[in-house]
Amino acid sequence: MHRRVVITGLGVVAPGGIGAKAFWELLTSGRTATRTISFFDPSPFRSQVAAECDFDPAAYGLTPAQTLRMDRAAQFAVVAAAEAVADAGLELAELDPYRMGTVVGSAVGATMSLEREYVIASEKGQRWLVDNARTSPHLYDYYVPGSFAAEVAWSIGAEGPAAVVSTGCTSGLDAVAYAAELIREGSADVVVGGASDAPISPITVACFDAIKATTPRNDDPAHASRPFDNSRNGFVLGEGSAMFVLEDLERARRRGAPVYAEIVGFASRCNAFHMTGLRPDGREMAEAIRSALDTARMDPTAIGYVNAHGSGTKQNDRHETAAVKLALREHAYATPMSSIKSMVGHSLGAIGAIEVAACALAITNGVVPPTANLHEPDPECDLDYVPLEARDRRLDAVLSVGSGFGGFQSAMLLARPEGDAR
Amino acid sequence: MSTDAPVVTGLGVVAATGLDAETYWKNVLDGRGGIGRIARFDPAQYPSRLAGEIRDFDPAAHLPDRLLAQTDHVTRFSLTAAAQALADAAVDPAALGDYDVGVVTASSAGGFEFGQKELEKLWSKGGDHVSAYQSFAWFYAVNTGQISIRHGMRGPSGVLVTDQAGGLDAIGQARRHLRAGTALAVTGGVDGSLCPWGWIGQLATGQISASDDPARAYLPFDRDANGFVPGEGGAILVVEQREAARRRAAPQVYGEISGYAATFDPAPDRNRPPGLRRAIELALADAHCPASDIDVVFADAAGVPELDLAEAKALNGVFGAGRVPVTAPKTMTGRLAAGAGGLDVATALLSLRDQVIPPTVNVGTLADGCRDLDLVLDAARPAPLRRALVLARGIGGFNAAVVVTAP
């Protein structure tokens, strides 16, 4: 028995505005949410820009105890999950806890809390034998980010399968796929799944500086994330979360729930090449796309929009362009493909889920979000990247792709629901 | 699509009780533990000082210099266990199709000592001193990524982070990939964070034994249970479709992964029962296996009185009091977080192979509420064994169960 899985609710915490509505307004306006880092003094670092969320946990219903206990990324996930549940019109009290699953993707877990606690315990790096008397009683929850799934599960009363998926920057796509599989195989009827990361912390900035992966365009932070542009020179670190209510199609129909999109295909592959490098031909990502199309029994020409990984590093954007051409052939040239990282930055493990939210909203609204800051395309990136302005377009099927450190390459296909869309 | 249960054809083990599967197994059967005072750093100032630390492991004997520079201990152990498992299964990934082999591992905290060193450089010397490898050497996906690269494995892969339940969840996910068509997967987990920064993270659980006596520190189900001893290591398994194993004439089949399930405990403030019993029942149902068919249980064995009691209650509820032998060979290695599930499954498969249940060491008088357990104490117990149940619980509320069956 393989059930069909649909998205009936979504919640987003993203730079530029909290909530799905603010998120979609930002994406379709073409404005950007990248700025000079405000969380700490970034002046010692090579890259000093990020896409930060203006997030007040109390304003979104978190108690002081929750705020004290949870890492920022866990807070994002709980808030996004609550929005998704409300959006789906789920009455939690009426659901069977045993049939509810929870899946959260995260690439780097509770980095901010861990670094904060490390600084205390080590007296700013002065002690190898760190002091356990001064740290948070919740240190273990930061040490093992399985706690993110626990917090979301507690907040919605779920007692079915729960997991954190951590595959670097494909965590978000992979977590949504894991959630969908729990429904498809019958392990759960409703899964609240998505991803969250809050990595804007000195150690993260320093580690990407060390490999020059992030942009040094510090003098123009609002235009620092430039996927596919010839002047691009690295990604802009971001943060955020997107969470979804996934359920089986029959269940959604029975309760008359509006559907954003059906998850019709997914596949992941590894490049087995390098922990951070990409082979220029893009063949593993192309294989993931082909395999996802196979699962969906879909022809490449059905795809109306490609949501790109589009991180804005030199190698990624060429790799990805090659992969999409390999998989979609001539149709690649006829398909709009954009990177929302130009506006909301790259929130590592979270971004894959945030991009799924963008795809679901694109299908529902019939609008393709643009690639901001794209003025002069790289000659080797010769597809239609929807520069600067959103575009109206009816979308029946959408492809979202991701690429992560560790060599992970993932592809997901979402389709417009049959009958009336949401 | 393949509906057959996948089979395990290769095992690799790195633990305090042995640096390969057969040495480990011999020591486990002899009841020889590997718990001792931490040597990797001076634990004198901390309230807990014992661990199942891996000693006498020479990374340079197993890995090239290029990999040594960019890896934490836990990744070196993982790569070593993966190479052993592939050799044991006589798999040459290059002989399989481009995308026929995947890697799914569990992790709890990543390469933590690597991370501590880089945090120290950042905060004591500045960002310019942070390693170019920090961006991936510490993170949760590092072991899957490095195994995939080293052996050229390009199939569907993943990483699960569900604390101690992770090893079983990884095996469950590998099974999904095999059912969807991937021929072979490398799975399980190898874990451990024996560095000061990792140690204080674990101390924060309040569950680490403060005893300095290796024979009295980790006593699951005992009336003197006083917490657990963390360890490092784990196991990597080669699992494959039964038909694929037959086709390539795999040198052995240890057994099949017949059932798997995961559940989550209710929130702490809800007055509802914990989820372990349900995970057991769901895994048995998944395996189409009545409780009476289980010949031995490899317990989670928390070593924390209320958690031991909950596990005893779940086992007695499903199987009837004293109706199934229960064991916890992890009393010899310590609890391995994401490494535990894979190692317990490997141990269970070796038990099925040799028809002997390894012992639980150091446990004496059972606690009230645990006395009905048929805990295999002190010495290995020969028994006819066809099916084993392996349990794991992760801090936060994760429960997982796997059923393995002799070939």
Q: Are B171 and B255 in contact (CB under 8 A)?
A: no
Domain with CATH 3.40.47.10 in chain A: 5-254, 265-415
For domain A5-254, which CATH number applies: 1.10.3720.10, 3.40.47.10, 3.40.50.720, 2.60.120.620?
3.40.47.10
What percent of chain A clears pLDDT 90, i.e. is strictly above it? 97
The SS3 call for residue A9 is strand
Q: Give the pLDDT score at B93.
A: 87
> Average pLDDT over chain A, rounded to whole?
97
CA-based nearest residue in chain B for residue A284: B154
Spell out which residues of chain B touch residue A407, defining contact as CB-CB under 8 Å. Answer: 145, 148-149
CB A105 within 8 Å of CB A355:
no
- How does pLDDT run across B344-395, given as a tens digit for each residue? 999 999 999 999 999 999 999 999 999 999 999 989 999 999 999 999 999 9
* Average pLDDT score over chain B: 97
Report which of A109, A130, A110 is spatially closest to residue A118, judged by C-alpha positions. A130
- For B46-67, what is the mean pLDDT? 96
Q: What angle do the packed helices B340-354 and B21-29 form, to 10 degrees?
A: 70
Domain A265-415 in this protein, CATH class: alpha beta
Mark yes or no for CB contact A140/B202 under 8 Å.
yes
CB atoms within 10 A of CB B65: 8
Whether residue A419 has pLDDT greater than 60: yes
Res B3: pLDDT: 64
Q: How many CB atoms lie within 10 A of CB A99?
A: 17
Q: Identify all chain B residues contacting A128, using CB atoms and an 8 Å cutoff.
A: 41, 116, 120, 196
Q: Which residue of B has its CA nearest to A211?
A: B132
Answer yes or no: do B264 and A147 touch at CB < 8 A: no
Query: Is residue A378 scored above 60 in pLDDT?
Result: yes
Give pLDDT tens digits for A110-129.
999 999 999 999 999 999 99
- In this structure, is the dihedral angle defined by the CA atoms of residues B312, B313, B319 and B320, taken in order, positive or negative? positive
Token pair for A267: 């596949």
Strand order in the sheet with A35-36: A35-36, A49-51, A237-238
How many Cα atoms are found within 13 Å in the side-chain-facing hemisphere of B291? 18
Report DSSP letters for B139-203, one per residue. STTHHHHHHHHHHT--SS-EEE-BTBTHHHHHHHHHHHHHHTT-SEEEEEEEE---SHHHHHHHH
pLDDT tens digits, one per residue of A182-206: 999 999 999 999 999 999 999 999 9
CB contact under 8 A, B160 and A287: no
Question: In angstroms, how far apart are the furthest CA atoms of chain A?
Answer: 63
**B160–A contact, CB cutoff 8 A:** yes
Q: Which chain A residue's Cα is nearest to B111?
A: A143
Q: How far is A28 from chain B (nearest CA, A)?
A: 32
* Identity of residue A61: G
Query: Is residue A53 annotated as a catalytic residue, yes or no?
Result: no
Q: Percent of chain A scored above 70 by pLDDT?
A: 99
Q: Does residue A107 have a pLDDT over 60?
A: yes
Interchain contact, A154 vs B267, CB within 8 Å: yes
B134 touches chain A (CB under 8 A): yes
Q: Please provide residue A140's backbone torsions phi and psi, each rounded to the nearest 5 degrees.
A: -65, -35
Which DSSP state fits B40?
A: S
Retrieve residue B263's tokens.
């559940």
Interchain CB distance below 8 Å, B109 and A143: yes
The residue length of chain B stands at 407
User: For residue B107, which residues of chain A lie inside 8 Å, CB to CB?
Assistant: 166
Question: Does B66 touch chain A if contact means CB atoms closer than 8 Å?
Answer: no
pLDDT score for A36: 98
Chain A environment of B283 (Cβ under 8 Å): none
Are residues B148 and B103 in contact, defined by beta-carbon separation less than 8 angstroms? yes
Cα A179 to Cα A188, A263, A359, B283, B295, distances in angstroms? 9, 11, 17, 19, 33
Query: Per-residue b/e over A336-348, b at no fewer than 16 CB within 10 Å?
Result: bbbbbbbbbbbbb
Interval A32-46 mean pLDDT: 98
- Contact between A55 and A36 (Cβ < 8 Å): no
Task: Indicate if the pLDDT at residue B133 is higher than 70.
Answer: yes
Whose structure tokens read 């990604």? A235
Shortest alpha-carbon distance between residue A164 and chain B (Å): 5
Quick check: helix, strand or coil at residue A281? coil
Contacting B residues, span 363-402, partner chain A, CB-CB under 8 Å? 394-398
Q: Which residues contact B136 (CB under 8 A, 6 or more apart)?
A: A168, A275, A276, A405, A406, B70, B142, B145
A148 within 8 A of A105, measured Cβ to Cβ: no
CA A244 to chain centre: 12
Does the beta-carbon distance from A275 to B41 stay under 8 Å?
Answer: no
Superfamily of domain B259-405: Thiolase/Chalcone synthase (3.40.47.10)
- CA B388 from chain centre, in angstroms, equals 15
CA A49 and chain centroid, separation:
19
The strand pairing partners of B388, in sequence order, are B296, B404
| Confidence category of residue B13, pLDDT binned at 50, 70, 90 | very high
**Residue B152 and residue A272: Cβ atoms within 8 Å?**
yes
Is the Cβ pair A166, B107 closer than 8 Å?
A: yes
Which pLDDT score, from 0 to 100, does residue A1 have?
52
Instruction: Provide the pLDDT confidence category of residue A417 given band limits of 50, 70 and 90.
Output: very high
pLDDT at res. A422: 66
Shortest distance between the Cα of A416 and any Cα of chain B, in A, equals: 24
Nearest to A322 by CA among A398, A403, A269, A381: A381
pLDDT band at B2 (very low <50, low <70, confident <90, very high): low
Q: How far apart are CA A409 and CA B336, in angstroms?
A: 30
Specify which residues A397 forms β-bridges with.
Answer: A415
Cβ(B63)–Cβ(B146) under 8 Å?
no
Q: Is A290 exposed, middle or buried (0-12, 13-18, 19+ CB in 10 A)?
A: middle
Residues from chain A that touch B267, judged by Cβ atoms under 8 A, are: 153-154, 157
Could you tell me the pLDDT band of residue A420, with boundaries at 50, 70 and 90?
low
Q: Which residue has the higher pLDDT, A2 or A268?
A: A268
Report CA-CA distances (Å) from A251 to A277, B48, B330: 43, 51, 43
Mean pLDDT calculated for residue range B312-329:
97
Contact criterion met (CB below 8 Å) for A32 and A363: no
Kindly report, residue by residue over B140-169, the tens digit of the pLDDT.
Answer: 999 999 999 999 999 999 999 999 999 999
Tokens standing for A115?
Answer: 């670094």
Record the tokens describing residue B165, joined without a space: 């339940």
Helix or strand (DSSP H, E) at B136: helix B134-137
CB contacts < 8 Å between A and B, how many?
A: 259
DSSP A167: -
Chain A touched by B13 (CB under 8 Å): no
How many whole angstroms from its chain centre is CA A242?
7
pLDDT (tens digit per residue) in B91-130 = 998 889 999 999 999 999 999 999 999 999 999 999 999 9
Helix (H) or strand (E) holding A165: strand A162-165
User: What's the CA gap between B118 and B375, in Å, rounded?
Assistant: 44
Active site residue A346: yes
Tokens representing residue B85 in the block: 């498992």
Q: Is the ipTM beyond the 0.90 threshold?
A: yes
Tokens representing A355 are 């991009």
pLDDT digits (tens, 9 = 90+) for A251-301: 999 999 999 999 999 999 999 999 999 999 999 999 999 999 999 999 999
* Alpha-carbon span B96 to B102, nearest angstrom: 11
- Asked if A183 and A5 touch (Cβ cutoff 8 Å), the reply is yes
Of B149, B156, B272, the CB nearest to A407: B149
Question: pLDDT per residue over B219-274, tens digit each?
Answer: 999 999 999 999 999 999 999 999 999 999 999 999 999 999 999 999 998 999 99
Residue B101, classed as helix, strand or coil, is strand
Annotated catalytic residue within A53, A319, A346, A359 = A346
Catalytic position from the list A309, A319, A359, A381: A309
pTM above 0.95, yes or no: yes
On the question of pLDDT at A357 being above 70, the answer is yes
Burial class (CB in 10 A: 0-12, 13-18, 19+), A41: exposed
Is B202 within 8 Å of chain A by CB?
yes
DSSP A330: G
Closest by alpha carbon to A162, among A186, A142, A185, A178? A178
B11, B346 contact by CB (below 8 A): yes
Nearest Cα residue in chain A from B126: A44
Residues of A in contact with B126 (CB under 8 A): 44
Q: Which residues of B touch A203 (CB under 8 A)?
A: 118-119, 122, 130, 134
Domain B7-247 has CATH 3.40.50.2300: no
Q: Is B71 on the interface with A (CB under 8 A)?
A: no
Considering only alpha carbons, which residue of chain A is nearest residue B268? Answer: A154
pLDDT exceeds cutoff 90 at B277: yes
Six-digit token string for B6: 């996948």
Nearest to B341, CA basis, from B386, B312, B300, B370 = B300
Cα A34 to the center of its chain, rounded Å: 16
- Catalytic: which of A53, A169, A359, A381? A169
Q: φ and ψ at B84, to 5 degrees?
A: -60, -45
Asked if A98 and B263 come within 8 Å (Cβ–Cβ), the reply is yes
Distances (CA, A) of A277 to A217, A319, B136, B214, B276: 22, 10, 12, 45, 42
Residue A38 CB contacts under 8 Å (≥ 6 apart), including other chains = A52
Are the C-beta atoms of residues A323 and A292 closer than 8 Å to each other? no
Domain ranges of chain B: 7-247, 259-405
How many other C-beta atoms can be found within 10 angstroms of the C-beta atom of residue B372?
15
Span B37-59, average pLDDT: 97
Q: How many residues does chain A have?
A: 422
Rounded to a whole number of angstroms, the distance from the CA of A254 to the nearest CA of chain B is 26
